[in-house]
Chains A and B, each alone.
Chain A
């Protein structure tokens, strides 16, 4: 795998730090008046999700990580493992709870998502920014209220619970932003 000098590392690059695959958020160069320069790296550990800052010598180097993102489809789950198929290679991956994490409430069968693979092994599942899911349970709400305060909770087919406006009914399909879990709009079939 390639080695990168601290002066070539840019945000978005994938590196191995302390044995874990990480993605660089920022690389800041420090050069004191008369002294050795350093680089302060801010990076996200792709396995733990934590963002860390660490200072390196400017002439130090870090190993690149073989990390790729592939388009995939969610197939099914048996409660222990979640199974996906990469859309281009048709390769199937079984992913555990830790890697599926927050994505699992947005996954419905055949649903699209992205798999982050490290050395060919899935380490993270990312749902698309928007998903369309059907409401399986919600209270009727007040008829005619088109811009209610706060709305009401609705359970979606995946088990996710989202706040929706009062006029939205059970059985309807809604568009949700997976990044913040918020209702966006109704979807007309």
Chain B
């Protein structure tokens, strides 16, 4: 590549990869047609976006009747699809673009393709089986392994993620030679540190952060090398929009699936309780304030749909670019995306 400032007009993906991509899309559509799952399209430009404190949405100014309105490019079609579910759509799937601010890397393009689908009547285990079937079809892999979050940490790091203290987590990081910048190492003995150890299960953000580092730096690279691997039953504090199963410890009905060390999808047995959902959104907003991040208003239409009643269902969001990257044996997203950020 020449070191030129002007980008190349050529696509970042070779044409044969685009042909492969089209064939994969057809296989995916056939997969869902055989299962009577309806294909839908929902808006990418909406008045609201997610309140998740760690996701930044890209906004656009939409002129309506001469006035400027701030709209958001969707980070996932979830909210609109849940409104469809509440309206009686039945099982639905969507292949669409999603957009995220500040996510750029070998496996991240700010504009990417999502495959998202919802299954009334499925719990997260049934949906894992369906995701497994899809991966076998598209990646030609064998049936996936499945581990709970606790089993995974026990097996790879010898710790119980639900009961480990922050001190235990730091020791584990050090034992695995993970070096952190000073910003990521809070001074030991600080009150914040101690209170987080005692915080109720739903608010342990510091624990979750270090657990996440251990997962991404120490476990993920070794995970699912030969066949896909599901991780399920996450700590309740990492539930996002999934149901929480009461117990000791309470667990989130959430799963992720990996292949060759790469996270492909995130699924939930969806939370249907509008009040609980509102509480989680409010906690997100508070966290956004604490982190000094842009304020996001709550999507009342989603909450109204939940209150009107969505069927008991599970849903999953899968990174389609990554799936196709793996299926085509590429190591980066760019060879499977027609024009990535570098020359879009």
B266 beta carbon closer than 8 Å to chain A: yes
User: Which of B104, B183, B215 lies in contact with A32, CB distance below 8 A?
Assistant: B215
Nearest A-chain residue to B55, judged by Cβ: A34
Q: Is the CB of B213 within 8 A of A38?
A: yes
Q: List 28 A–B pairs whose Cβ atoms lie within 8 Å, in order of A's numbering.
A: A7-B102, A28-B106, A29-B103, A29-B105, A30-B216, A31-B103, A32-B215, A33-B240, A33-B263, A34-B238, A34-B240, A34-B266, A35-B209, A36-B212, A38-B213, A38-B216, A40-B217, A52-B179, A53-B179, A54-B180, A55-B180, A55-B181, A55-B184, A56-B181, A56-B183, A56-B184, A57-B181, A58-B102
B54 beta carbon closer than 8 Å to chain A: yes
B52 beta carbon closer than 8 Å to chain A: yes
Q: Is the CB of A37 within 8 A of B104?
A: no
Taking CB atoms, residues of chain B closer than 8 Å to A37 are: 54, 102-103
B178 beta carbon closer than 8 Å to chain A: yes
Taking CB atoms, residues of chain A closer than 8 Å to B208 are: 35
| Distance to closest chain A CB from B327 (angstroms) | 22
Q: Is the CB of B104 within 8 A of A7?
A: yes
Residues of A in contact with B (beta carbons under 8 Å apart): 7, 28-38, 40, 52-58, 60
Q: Is the CB of B183 within 8 A of A54?
A: no
Q: How far is the CA of A173 from the CA of B240 in the complex (A)?
A: 70
Taking CB atoms, residues of chain A closer than 8 Å to B216 are: 30, 32, 38
Taking CB atoms, residues of chain A closer than 8 Å to B54 are: 34-37
Nearest A-chain residue to B50, judged by Cβ: A34
| Distance to closest chain B CB from A181 (angstroms) | 30
Q: Which of B86-136 contact A (CB under 8 A)?
A: 102-108
Residues of B in contact with A (beta carbons under 8 Å apart): 52, 54, 102-108, 178-181, 183-184, 208-209, 212-213, 215-217, 238, 240, 256, 263, 266
User: Which of A35, A38, A52, A54 lies in contact with B238, CB distance below 8 A?
Assistant: A35
Q: How far is the CA of A11 from the CA of B183 in the complex (A)?
A: 22
Taking CB atoms, residues of chain A closer than 8 Å to B184 are: 38, 55-57
Taking CB atoms, residues of chain A closer than 8 Å to B102 are: 7, 37, 58
User: Which of A34, A55, A57 lies in contact with B179, CB distance below 8 A?
Assistant: A55
Taking CB atoms, residues of chain B closer than 8 Å to A53 are: 179
Taking CB atoms, residues of chain A closer than 8 Å to B212 are: 32, 35-36
Taking CB atoms, residues of chain B closer than 8 Å to A54 are: 179-181
Given the contacts A57-B181, A60-B181, A34 and B108 also touching, CB distance less than 8 Å:
no
Taking CB atoms, residues of chain A closer than 8 Å to B108 are: 29, 31
Q: How far is the CA of A57 from the CA of B186 in the complex (A)?
A: 13
Taking CB atoms, residues of chain A closer than 8 Å to B106 are: 28-29
Nearest B-chain residue to A56, judged by Cβ: B181
Q: Is the CB of A33 within 8 A of B256?
A: yes
| Distance to closest chain A CB from B342 (angstroms) | 12
Taking CB atoms, residues of chain A closer than 8 Å to B103 are: 29, 31, 37
Nearest B-chain residue to A38, judged by Cβ: B213
Most chain A beta-carbon contacts within 10 A, residue among B183, B216, B266 = B216
